[in-house]
Amino acid sequence: MGNKHVNAIVVGAGAGGGIVAKELSVAGLSVVLFERGGWATYDDTDTDELKSQRTTVLGNAYGPDDLRYKRVVVNTDGSTYIVLPSDGGYNNNAACVGSGTVSYGAMAWRFMQEDFKLKTTYGPIEGSTLDDWPFTYEDLEPSYEKAEWEIGVAGDSTRNPFAAPRKKPYPMPPFSHNREAKLLYDAAKRLGYHPFPIPMLRNSVPYGDRPACIRMRTCCGYACPVNAKCGTQNTVIPIAIESGNCELRINSVVSEILVNEQGKITGVTYFDEKNRKQTQTADIVVISASATETARLLLNSKSKFFPKGIGNENDWVGRNLQGHAYTGAYGIFKDEVYDDLGPGASVAISDFNHHNPGIMGGGVLCNEFIRMPYAFTGIRPPGAARWGKEHKSFQRLNYKRVAQAVGPYQEIPNFESRVEVDPAIKDFWGIPVVRLSGTRHEKDIEGCKLMSEKAELWLKEAGAIQTWQSIGGRGLSGGQHQAGTCRMGNDPKTSVTDKYGRIHSVSNLFVADGSLNVNNGGFNPALTIMALGYRVGGYIASEWSKGNRFK
Amino acid sequence: MKKNIKITLLIIPIILIISIIAFGSFYTYWNNTTPDKTCASCHEIGKSVNSQAQSSHRNLHCKECHGTALSNGFHSIKEKGMMVVNHIKNKQVENIKLSEEQLLEVLNNCNRCHSSEFAKWTSGGHSLDYQHVFLNTKHNSTEQINYDCLRCHGMFFEGNVGDVVEPLNIKGPWKLKEEKMATVPAIPCMACHLIHQDGSPQVRPDYSNPKTIFYQKKGPISKLGFYDRHEKVYYPITQLPQLNLWEGDRKVKVSDDQLMRNCVQCHAPNSRHQSGTSDDRTPRGVHEGLSCMACHEPHSNNARNSCISCHPAISNCKLDVTKMNTSYSDAKSGNNIHFVACADCHNGSRPEGRGNRSRIVSIIRN
Amino acid sequence: MANYCRKRLLQINKTRSQTTDKLTIKSILLMNQQAKLTRRRFITLSVLGAGGMLLLSRCANPPLSQWRILTEQESNLLDALAEQIIPADEWPGGRDAGVTNFIDQQLAGPYVRFQDTYRKGILAIQETCKAKFQKRFEELPWEEQTRFLESMEAGKMEGENWGKGFDRQFFRLIRDHSMQGFYGSPRHGGNKNNVSYRMMKLDYPVIIGQNRYNS
């Protein structure tokens, strides 16, 4: 029996897709929400460090699995190798209802006004596709606010003088600092910086019928044992399902977007939980599969009308893959700075986002999430033993005495950093896999070095007796903060979608995830992806109510 | 034709009788021979058999706790049959564990020998069933049921909390997924007791010199531990972390009694380990430093009449401590017996006559 | 140890057999009635049971190896390597923490893709030791073992067994897997008795209460 035609298909139940599904189904559209994974529970892997979303040596806690998925990475010399989801180079997010929002660190950043007009702020940069967004921060502000209140954010909106203006405060009070954050807070004050508690998509008080955070040390990379972390799986997706208009189809892998004789999108084909190929038709299709998988799906949907893949007339789909160059420093303190108060990260300074000489864009600096014992075995000052007796005593003596200040450095968009589909390699279902190539822009490393120096000084001021830098900015981009592959813009020649996420050349196909980001901000992008979900979903819903059927 | 039927009629009973005899003798043999020829010939449970042989339960035959293939009807034979099937299929089984159902069958057998402890457990707070935990409307409407409930209640349940109760919201109405779970004990014996842990059976002491009986006793007890449902392993109390507890910035003195480490795994403070928060009942104030066991009987958790074991009938202040304004005598009292401090009643100053050594001495003498 | 158990069990059996020999088929049938078995079910089960028992007799083999993938010799080498990577001090080292058990368990699971690398690496180490010292790696003195691993780490191994950069690659693999076995969750076969968590003074299981309202 075939599937019943619906108004809208949403591909991917993550930060973007979950919200779009809710916006559409609440507005009365019939929706099928596709998710390649299933429902995740804390019990799946609980506090297992070796199988989490942070350390994946024994596999990804919340998907995808190593048996059915793979990708190809292209080295700088042109040679290629295959990566599995549990390998670092795979650039994984997750595969489950809620996707990364089940296990993320849950920082809830709004981008700054400058982030929406980088080209105007910094001028064109050689070798970069730097551009302004097709709208301003003010246009996205209502969506940010909606995300903060519907998903739930704890923070203090008055303490960061560099934050873009907002209309409403956060719905929950901020989290208290742990010992390490207190030291860094005081040090930042002494240095004349402006420290403040990191806004978090996590309940500091009971909110949305869910309890307050119990401050587990395993938080970033893990699901929450008490459901205090706010993701789309425990907020908007249940609302969508309760509306009666949204069917969540789990363990279903969408393989292709279907195009009819008129060049219109008619639906998708997918493999259901029993790996049978199925078709689902709809009036509208929204892709929210992450920057790598959204691009892959578009590129894999080749037809008479779109021989190079949908929206790829100008070879822009999959281009400008960005993530964040994580850069910062470590410091060893005389006394213990670890007080087992999770998740670790709690203090931030936004002093190095924009308008710092030598840094384009920059990034926020925070104390880092708790490093579990195995992760800590790789954290050593330069020259220190990597194994043996000395390594073991370092582990014992310094585990609770090391702090890290680190931040997501805003990468400069690079056209050659890209997602393609591999001509030969296919996954379990026979779908051509993602092929990642290119590197970060060469200028990134300079900014990273400057940021790391600042982080090191901050740690020294806080009392670190030994410090060393960890400088990011080299190599392949992407990672969990992947973005940029279906850039929004007003010019169809230099972008993939319009300012509402609609593919320029198709009236009823939308994108709603990090792929849309023109640049990725100096912040973790989850809240921005959520805001884009509200923007795209809200636009479709309001047009629909006006009678627009996107034909 | 008729002959054929006759022959068949004759053959069937013969086959039946033969197989009954064959099976019967096998069954008898199986249940009465040594475990290393039977149970332990399955390498999967060899480890359990070995550990049992060194435990204080070593004098018991496997079947006395675990039953036989027929002791629990079809269910038993199916489950033991599956073990054989898995074994023959060479299915790798890591760290074989009893299912919750099997474990509860064992629990009933505990009662056969430890009836006194069993009765005490039944009378105390730890014998509650799933229905008492998961259908408590006050709790469920105050706080959403979450995955970690099973850490302390229903730690042997195979599945997650969504398989126990629905819906997982604070609106209700709640019902158990399977009605028969209503009466499943949420904290069975094995929550704290390691049945196969090294130990010796209780024996009569050497009476030749009665004064040495005390010295023949060993301690602390390592046969207790916390069952971690995620690791699927018991942590003996000797390996459990000691509680670091704070009252503001002051470190609270916590008893060294290792038994208490088991208690605090569930009766735990918040993540800042502040005294009196969350489920913490660790003594602070006048009782600071005492172990839970100083007042609570371990199986019934009963603390009634515990005062008397330390305090004379009338305290040094000439007051009957059991009648003071504490939660011991009055559930509504603001002075929780676990945390009550001198200053809670005495406005921060010493009571009259306190410190008068001669008077105290005289009371004790009388 | 095993002998002790066996003796112990034999003793138990002696005392038991006196009482239980009296069990008759009749009493078994009686038991069946109590278990509410239908005749048909009983027959099916009898046949199944008897068949099962016969099959079980196959199991009277000598005890199987405690390893899933490794040989006894390979495990000895991995023990020595793990002990070098994480040596015993006041706290147990890699060997006693069950690192080899961790690796063995993973090689039968997520690390199945490293089986060949392990075989190749183990061979390379032992061949080199044989050629150079006429001994197996685990028989070398401690300092000699350390020097051997240091030159592997530095990529200074010679000979066709090591190929292009295989010395460094295999050393990194062994080092990382040993660290995982020692510092990872005990459920994967290593970190016996939470040794690393206790060494690092990390509460495990974590002590955090769950009650957030006054009852």
Nearest to C208 among A48, A214, A373 (CB): A214
pLDDT given for residue A245 in this prediction: 98
Q: In this structure, how many other beta carbons lie within 10 angstroms of the beta carbon of residue B353?
A: 11
Q: Which two tokens mark B289?
A: 């430093």
Q: Is A257 exposed, middle or buried (0-12, 13-18, 19+ CB in 10 A)?
A: buried
Helix (H) or strand (E) holding C29: helix C25-34
For residue B88, CA distances in Å to A279, B68, B359 come to 42, 20, 79
* A550 in Cβ contact with A508 (< 8 Å): yes
Q: Taking CB atoms and an 8 Å limit, are C187 and B231 in contact across chains?
A: yes
Chain B residues with CB under 8 Å of a chain A CB are 143-144, 146-148, 150-151, 159-160, 162, 168-171, 230, 270-272
Q: Please say if the pLDDT value at position C190 is more than 90.
A: yes
Residue B13, number of CB atoms within 10 A of its CB = 9
A42/B147 touch (CB, cutoff 8 Å), yes or no: yes
Whether residues C179 and A392 touch (CB distance < 8 A) is answered with no
Interface touch C146/A386, C-beta < 8 Å: no
Partner-chain contact B94 C47, CB within 8 Å: no
- Tell me the CA end-to-end span of chain C in Å, nearest whole number: 51
Rounded distance, CA A523 to CA A365, Å? Answer: 9
Cβ contact B271–A211 (<8 Å): no
- What's the domain count of chain A? 1
Comparing A347-351, B99-103, B133-137, the range with the smallest average pLDDT is B99-103
DSSP string, A501-548: SBBTT-TTEEE-SGGG-SS-TTS--HHHHHHHHHHHHHHHHHHHHTT-
- Which of C175, C200, C210 lies closest to A373 in CB terms? C200
Pair C106, C165: CB distance under 8 Å? no
Q: Which domain holds residue A110?
A: 6-545
Cα A250 to chain center, whole Å? 21
pLDDT greater than 60 at residue C45: no
Q: Which residues contact B57 (CB under 8 A, 6 or more apart)?
A: B65, B195, B196, B201
Q: What pLDDT sits at residue B276?
A: 93
Q: Read off the pLDDT of residues A185-201 as tens digits, 9 standing for 90 and up.
A: 999 999 999 999 999 99
pLDDT at A117: 96
Phi, psi of A546 (to 5 degrees): -85, -5
The answer, yes or no, to whether residue A354 has pLDDT greater than 70, is yes
Contact predicate B222/B234, CB 8 Å: no
B42 to chain C: closest CA residue: C59
Query: What pLDDT is recorded for position B218?
Result: 76
Which residue in the set A46, A209, A226 is minimally distant from B230, CB to CB?
A: A46
**How does residue B79 score in pLDDT terms, banded at 50, 70 and 90?**
confident
- Residue B359 scores a pLDDT above 60: no
Q: Which DSSP string corresponds to A67-100?
A: TT--EEEE-TTS-EEEE-TTSGGG-----BTTTH
- State which residue of chain C sits closest to A46, comparing Cα positions: C185
CA–CA separation, A403 vs A461, rounded Å? 12
For residue B226, the SS3 value is strand
Residue C4 has pLDDT above 50, yes or no: no
Residue of B nearest to A338 (CA): B272
pLDDT at A473 (0 to 100) = 86
CB of C59 within 8 A of CB of B42?
yes
Chains that touch C (3 or more CB pairs under 8 A): A, B
Are A9 and A270 in contact, with CB atoms under 8 Å apart? no
Residue C143 above 60 pLDDT?
Answer: yes
Preferred mutation among B147, B158, B246 to probe A, highest tally of A CBs within 10 A: B147
> How many angstroms from the chain centroid is the CA of residue B81?
29
Per the DSSP assignment, residues forming a β-bridge with A328 are: A406, A470
Average pLDDT over residues B73-77: 76
Q: What percent of chain C has pLDDT over 70?
A: 68
pLDDT bin (cut points 50, 70, 90) of residue B323 is confident
Residue C162 CA to residue C170 CA, distance in Å, equals 9
Q: Is the dihedral of CA A215, A221, A226, A232 positive or negative?
A: positive
Mutation site, A42, A51, A96, A219, interface B, largest B CB count within 10 A = A42
At B243 the pLDDT is 95
For residue B87, which amino acid is it?
Answer: H
pLDDT digits (tens, 9 = 90+) for B271-280: 999 999 999 9
Which tens digit of pLDDT belongs to each residue from A214-241?
999 999 999 999 999 999 999 999 999 9
R_g of chain C, CA atoms, integer Å? 26
Q: Is A215 left (phi over 0), alpha (psi -120 to 50) or beta?
A: left
pLDDT in tens, A25-71: 999 999 999 999 999 999 999 999 999 999 999 999 999 999 999 99
The three-class DSSP label of residue A396 is helix
- Which pLDDT tens digit goes with each residue over B151-165? 999 999 999 999 999
A36 to A24, A379, A426, A551, C134: CA distances (angstroms) = 20, 35, 16, 28, 55
Is pLDDT at B364 greater than 70 in this prediction? no
Neighbours of B256 (CB within 10 A): 11
Q: How many CA atoms lie within 13 A of C117 on its CB side?
A: 17
Residue C1: its pLDDT value, please?
Answer: 38
Q: How many whole angstroms from its chain centre is CA A342?
A: 21
Residue C56 has pLDDT above 70, yes or no: no
Residue A444 in 3-state DSSP? helix
Q: What are phi and psi of B221, to 5 degrees?
A: -75, 125
> Is it the case that residue C60 has pLDDT exceeding 70?
no
Q: Which of A419-423, B91-95, B244-248, B355-359 has the lowest mean pLDDT?
A: B355-359
Its ipTM equals 0.95
Nearest by CB: C209 against B94, B240, B269: B269
Residues of C in contact with B151 (CB under 8 A): 210
Q: Cβ(A236)–Cβ(A22) under 8 Å? A: yes
Q: What is the pLDDT of residue C64?
A: 59
Band of pLDDT at residue A475, cut at 50, 70 and 90: confident
Computed over every residue of chain B, the mean pLDDT equals: 85
Backbone angles phi, psi at A539, to 5 degrees: -65, -50
- In this prediction, what percent of chain B has a pLDDT beyond 70? 88
At position A396, the amino acid (one-letter code) is R
Q: How do residues A66-116 score in pLDDT, each as one tens digit? A: 999 999 999 999 999 999 999 988 999 999 999 999 999 999 999 999 999
Residue A426 sits at the vertex; the CA angle it makes with A424 and A427, to the nearest 5 degrees, is 165
pLDDT at position A244: 97
Residue A545 neighbours by CB distance under 10 Å: 11
Q: With contact defined as beta carbons under 8 Å apart, do C132 and C124 qualify?
A: no
Contact check, Cβ <8 Å, A58/C153: no
Is A374 within 8 Å of C179 when comparing Cβ atoms? yes
Is A399 domain-assigned? yes
The yes-or-no verdict on residue C40 having pLDDT over 70 is no
C60 touches chain B (CB under 8 A): yes
Interface contact flag, A396 C206, Cβ < 8 Å: no
CB distance C127 to C159 below 8 Å: yes
Q: What percent of chain B has pLDDT over 90?
A: 47
Give the span between the Cα atoms of A224 and A202, in whole angstroms.
10
Contact: C205, B265; criterion CB under 8 Å: yes
Closest Cβ–Cβ partner in A48, A223, A342 for B271: A342
Residues C91, A226: C-beta atoms closer than 8 Å = no
| pTM, full prediction | 0.90
Length of chain C: 215
Distance from CA of B242 to the nearest CA of A (A): 14
How much is the average pLDDT of B100-116? Answer: 91
Q: CB of A465 within 8 Å of any CB in chain C?
A: no
In contact, C118 and C100? CB cutoff 8 Å: no
User: Mind listing the pLDDT tens digit for each residue in B44-55?
Assistant: 787 888 888 899
**Cross-chain CB nearest to B19 (options C46, C105, C194):** C46
Task: Give percent helix, percent strand, percent coil of chain C, each to the nearest 5.
Answer: 65, 0, 35
Residues on A contacting B at a C-beta cutoff of 8 Å: 41-43, 46-48, 206, 209-211, 214-216, 223, 225-227, 339-342
**Inter-chain CB proximity B162 and A227 less than 8 Å:** no
Position with higher pLDDT, C45 vs A478? A478
Q: Order the strands of the A418-426 sheet from edge to edge.
A: A80-83, A71-74, A432-437, A418-426
Q: Do C2 and B241 touch (CB under 8 A)?
A: no
Question: Which chain C residue has its CA at the smallest distance from B147's CA?
Answer: C210
CATH of the domain at A147: 3.50.50.60
Residues of chain A positioned with their CB less than 8 A from the CB of C87 = 388-389, 392
Q: Which of A103, A221, A211, A111 is nearest to A152 (CA)?
A: A211
**Which H helix or E strand runs over C72?**
helix C72-85
Nearest to A471 by CA among A414, A522, A407, A398: A407
B315 pLDDT exceeds 70?
A: no
The DSSP code for B128 is -
Asked if C32's CB is within 8 angstroms of B43's CB, the reply is no
| CB spacing of B22 vs C50 below 8 angstroms | yes
Cα–Cα nearest to A16, from A118, A151, A167: A151
Q: Which of A169, A222, A175 is nearest to A203 (CA)?
A: A175
- Provide the 3-class DSSP secondary structure of residue B236: strand
Residue A195 burial (CB count, 10 A): 24
In chain C, residues with a C-beta closer than 8 Å to the C-beta of B72 are: 35
HEC profile of A407-432 = EEEECCCCCCCEEEEEEEEECCCCCE
| pLDDT above 60: residue A122 | yes
Question: Which residue in the block uniquely carries the two structure tokens 């019939």?
Answer: A30
* Minimum distance, in Å, between the CA of residue C134 and any CA atom of chain B: 37
Question: What is the length of chain A?
Answer: 551
The 10s digit of each residue's pLDDT in B30-47 is: 777 777 677 777 667 878
**End-to-end Cα distance, chain A:** 27
Query: Would you say residue A550 lies in a domain?
Result: no
In the block, tokens 């969990």 appear at A480
Copy the structure tokens of residue B46.
């060899």
Residue A460: inside a domain: yes
Tokens representing A399 are 């585990």
Phi, psi of C195 (to 5 degrees): -55, -45
DSSP bridge pairs for A330: A404, A468
Q: Which of A475, A54, A516 is nearest to A291 (CA)?
A: A516
pLDDT digits (tens, 9 = 90+) for A136-166: 999 999 999 999 999 999 999 999 999 999 9
The amino acid present at C95, given as its one-letter code, is R
Per-residue confidence band for B21, with pLDDT thresholds at 50, 70 and 90: confident
Q: Which of A50, A216, A373 has its CB closest to that of C188? A: A50
What does the alpha-carbon distance between residue B51 and residue A372 come to, in Å, rounded to a whole number?
32
Chains near B with 3+ CB pairs less than 8 A apart are: A, C
Facing residue for C208 by CB, picked from A59, A216, A393: A216
Burial B56-68 (b: 16+ CB within 10 A, else e): bbbebbbbebbbb
* Residues in chain B, total: 366
| Beta-carbon separation of A373 and C187 below 8 A | no
CA–CA separation, A47 and C187 (whole Å) = 11
Confidence of residue B322 (pLDDT cuts 50, 70, 90): confident
pLDDT of residue A290 exceeding 80 = yes
State yes or no: pLDDT of B337 exceeds 90.
yes
The chain A residue lying nearest B158, using CA atoms, is A43
Q: Is residue B162 within 8 Å of A41, Cβ to Cβ?
A: yes
Q: Which of A439-443, B197-201, C63-67, C132-136 has the highest mean pLDDT?
A: C132-136
Rounded CA separation A295/A11 (Å): 12
CB-CB: which of B231, B243, B273 is closest to C186?
B231
